[in-house]
Amino acid sequence: MKKMAKTKKQKLALEIIDRLREEYPDATCSLDYDEAWKLLVSVRLAAQCTDERVNIIVEKLYEKYPDVQSLADADVDKIEEIVRPCGLGRSKAKDISACMKILRDQYDCQVPKTFDELLALPGVGRKSANLIMGDVFGQPAIVTDTHCIRLTNRMGLVDGIKEPKKVEMALWKIIPPEEGSDFCHRLVYHGRAVCTARTTPFCDKCCLNDICAKNGIKK
């Protein structure tokens, strides 16, 4: 069967993947966890909060509630007291409590292994479900966080798309499935260090300078 020729965007994506891999060979998830359920908790807390702050707060949470059972049994008010510094404390506490109860009651305190089951959990959206699938279960995943959306638009991999699901669907067409998870982690590293949001990006020291579309950057 004849292979279809790669599109310009597919070729660009492969080159970007190769260069970012060389630049950030050890890029991993910036949320600290050693069990799957902890990543579920952290990714909910990370909404509108920095990963660094989340990593500090969850240490206090797990000191008091070290497993799914104890967190599922915990009073929502007590959870909220601890997670409040992450913002949206009440909403996040309710979601974490409800999520842990489902893990306890339906999954024997384990994290479900399918995308649809993850998506059905309280407080879990496509971004979170993809992160779990990629990092915990080693499955193809594209995590469309703010870095991914901003950088893929800037680079020219997607064209003016800001809605996370639409960005995800567009990237599935050009990113090899086995590369998606690591690629998205590297976008986070690159977005923080070089291709910044709140300052003028450091294009002069960017490994993608000669191939980036530089969309939205004042020339």
Active site residues: 127, 145
- Which tokens hold the place of 22? 């060389």
Closest by CA position to 182, among listed 48, 72, 23: 23
CB under 8 Å to 47, separation ≥6 — which residues?
Answer: 87, 88, 92
Please report which residue ranges of 74-201 form alpha helices under DSSP H.
Answer: 76-83, 89-106, 115-119, 126-135, 146-155, 164-172, 180-193
The span from the CA of 141 to the CA of 210, in Å, is: 27
Radius of gyration (C-alpha) of the chain in whole angstroms? 19
CA-closest candidate to residue 180, choices 129, 150, 140, 151: 140
Residue keyed to tokens 């594209």:
142
User: CA–CA separation, 80 vs 78, rounded Å?
Assistant: 5
> What is the Cα–Cα distance from 44 to 23, expressed in whole angstroms?
29
* 5 SS3 class: coil
